[in-house]
Structure 1
């Protein structure tokens, strides 16, 4: 199975810390699965201009093709101004409308306060659904109080990140069986 963790911001580290925990869980539990991290702060992505993804080159082409080749994706995002970062939205804009079809997708969100959980419900989930992602029913939301010294300190959050990672694989396997049965 090919699993991609997409960390959707060019600044900050809390989302990456949470993503690293989820991906480490996957690597430890499923050593034969391919687990790839795309932290968009490590790539030079161009702005989407409406062209088909195949016409982009370099990092932009790599990121789009890696996401579309995945069986399962974890999208990790901070909350900026009660919204997803523009850099993450740009990644979605670079992809074709059905790029996430038949892909199980989990969500990790970091925010400064509990009040920002609505961003997931009102923005991120609708975008992913529009792109035909098969979303896990629950997501992991972490806030400032869950971190100290560049580490997650809330045991419940660590457990939920592990559960999300494992549910992603189980869900992707079920989705794969369902798709095969339909053909």
Structure 2
């Protein structure tokens, strides 16, 4: 199975690190899992204008192709102004309606304050559902003070445990879908 993680942040390292932690946890749980991190900072994704995918640049087509070919996915977003990142929303606008059918779609979000912990629940979950994604029960919200300021490593043990549980639940659910 191939697990693809998407970091929807265009600035900072926290979201990318959090998504990568889910990928690593999944591979530690099952060494046969192939993992790939798509960090949107490393690609020139064009702004969605409703055109056919073939009309977009190579980076845009490559990222969409990687997402569509994944067996399951984990999406990471920073929370800006009580919402998901514009870069991640733009990426969603490039995808076909059934992009996540029969795929588990996990959620990791990072934010400055605990005031925004429900943003993934009320904004990202409905989007993933629209694309027919199966959403695990254990999405992870990581407040900035859970990171080491110098290394950006997650230092909150509870958060690390929740990331591990998310990875395990995603694997369990995706295996169930694959074995139906």
**What's the TM-score bracket when you normalise by the shorter of the two chains?**
over 0.9
* Paired residues for 1:25-36 under 5 Å: 25-36=25-36
Find the aligned partners of 1:53 and 1:31 in 2 and give their Cα distance: 34
* CA RMSD across the alignment: 1.2
Moved more, 17-26 or 62-71: 17-26
Number of aligned residue pairs: give it.
Answer: 178
Q: Deviations over 1:149-169 (max 9, x none)?
A: 211111011111111112111
Q: Distance in 1 between matches of 2:108 and 2:162?
A: 10
Q: Counterparts of 1:172 and 1:123 in 2: how far apart (Å)?
A: 23
Where structure 2 has 5 or more consecutive residues not aligned to the other structure, the ranges are: none
Q: How far apart are residue 26 of structure 1 and its match?
A: 2.2
The residue matched to 2:83 in structure 1 has which SS?
coil
Which of the two has greater helix per residue?
1
Q: Which residue is equivalent to 1:106?
A: 106
2:118 aligned residue: 118
Residues 79 and 85, structure 2, Cα contact 8 Å, conserved in 1: yes
Tell me the TM-score normalized by structure 2.
0.94
Q: How far apart are the structure 2 equivalents of 1:95 and 1:175?
A: 21
| Aligned-pair CA distance for 1:41 | 0.6
CA contact (8 A) 2:138 2:162 kept: no
2:174 corresponds to: 172
CA apart distance, 1:57: 3.4
Matched, 1:142 2:142: yes
Q: Which residue of 2 aligns with 1:47?
A: 47
Q: Extract unaligned runs of 5+ from structure 1.
A: 179-183
Q: Is the contact made by 1:54 and 1:61 (CA closer than 8 Å) also made in structure 2?
A: yes
Deviations 1:57-107 (A, max 9, x none): 311001001101111100011101110110000100010111111110110
Q: Indicate the residue corresponding to 1:163 in structure 2.
A: 165
| Contact map agreement 1:53 1:96 (CA 8 A) in 2 | no
Tell me the CA shift for residue 145 of structure 1.
Answer: 1.9
Deviation at 1:48, TM superposition (A): 0.7
Partner Cα separation in structure 1 for residue 3 and residue 36 of structure 2: 6
Query: Which residue matches 1:181?
Result: none
